[in-house]
Homo-oligomer: A and B are copies of this chain.
C-alpha cells in the first residue's frame, strides 16, 4: 500500500530505524533494571520486533551492550577533547580525557563492568569499531606528544605512539581492577591512582637534565601506598 515516493533505499531505512528502536529499548531497560536483569525478550518486545530479530542486528546480548556503550564513549571522548585545559601539561590532558571516561563509567558500574569485560573480546563489526576507537585515541595523544616533542618540550627520541599505547593499557587494566572490585573506590580516587601511573610512564618523555630533583630516601621506593 502507498509505496509511493520513498527514496529507493527503503529497505535500508527500515533497517536503520529498527536498529535504532532496538538500541533505544536496550538503553532504557539496561539503565532501568540493569544488564543482567534485562532479558533479550524484553528488549525485543519493547522494540516491537520478534525475539529472534534482535540477533539479526546484534550477534549477542553482549554485542549489543558493547555497541551501545562504544557509541556513548565516542561522545564522551569527543566532549573531553573539546574541553581540554588550555596550556595544561600532557599529563593533565590525559587525565582530563581518561577521567571523563571514568566518570562516565561510574554512573552505572554494573553496565560499565559488563562492557569493560566484553569490549576487548567482541568479534565482528563491533570488534573493528572498538579497535578504531582505541587506535584513534592513541593517535590523538601521540599527536599531542609529537607536538611537544617538536617544540622541544619533550624528549624526541621516545616513540610517541608507543607511549600513548602504554597509557591506554594502564587505563584499561586499572579500570578493570577498579570495576572488578566488589567495594568500589570513588572515581576521584581512582583517577588519582591513574594519574600516578600515567605520570610514571610519561617520565620517559622528560628531557634529561630536569630530573633527579627530589631524590627519595632509598627504602621509601618499596613502600606500599595506602589502599
Question: Given contacts A121-B176, A211-B208, is CB(A169)–CB(B146) below 8 Å?
Answer: no
B200–A166 touching, CB < 8 Å:
yes
Q: A residues 8-38 with Cβ under 8 Å of B?
A: none
| Residues of chain B lying within 8 A (CB to CB) of residue A204 | 200-201, 203-204
Number of interface residues of A (CB under 8 A): 57
Chain A contacts with B in 155-174, Cβ cutoff 8 A: 155-163, 165-166, 168-170, 172-174
* Closest beta carbon of chain B to A225's beta carbon, Å: 8
Candidates B157, B168, B197; contact of A166 at CB < 8 Å: B197
Convert A159-200 into 0s and 1s, putting 1 for each residue whose CB lies closer than 8 angstroms to a CB of B: 111110110111011101101101000000000000011001
Are A221 and B158 CB-contacts (below 8 A) given A127-B180, A180-B121, A212-B208? yes
A142-B222 in contact given A121-B176, A208-B211 (Cβ < 8 Å): yes
Q: When the two chains form the complex, which single residue of B150, B156, B166, B176 contacts A201, counting CB atoms closer than 8 Å?
A: B166
Contact with A216, one of B143, B156, B208 (Cβ below 8 angstroms): B156
A91 interface residue per 8 A CB criterion: no
Which listed residue, B117, B143, B163, B221, touches A156 by the CB 8 Å rule?
A: B221
Q: For the complex formed by this chain, how many copies does it contain in all? A: 2
Q: Which residue of B lies closest to A216 (CB)?
A: B157
Q: Which of B121, B174, B222 contacts A113 (CB 8 A)?
A: B121
> Could you list some 20 contacts between A and B, CB below 8 A?
A117-B118, A117-B121, A120-B176, A122-B180, A123-B182, A142-B222, A146-B222, A150-B218, A155-B211, A157-B214, A157-B215, A159-B216, A160-B221, A161-B221, A165-B197, A166-B200, A168-B173, A169-B170, A201-B201, A203-B204
Known: A200-B201, A200-B204. 10 other contacts (CB 8 A): A117-B118, A117-B121, A127-B182, A149-B218, A156-B215, A158-B200, A159-B216, A166-B197, A170-B170, A208-B208
**Which residues of A are interface residues toward B (Cβ below 8 A)?**
113, 117-118, 120-123, 127, 142-143, 145-146, 149-150, 155-163, 165-166, 168-170, 172-174, 176-177, 179-180, 182, 196-197, 200-201, 203-204, 208-209, 211-212, 214-216, 218-225
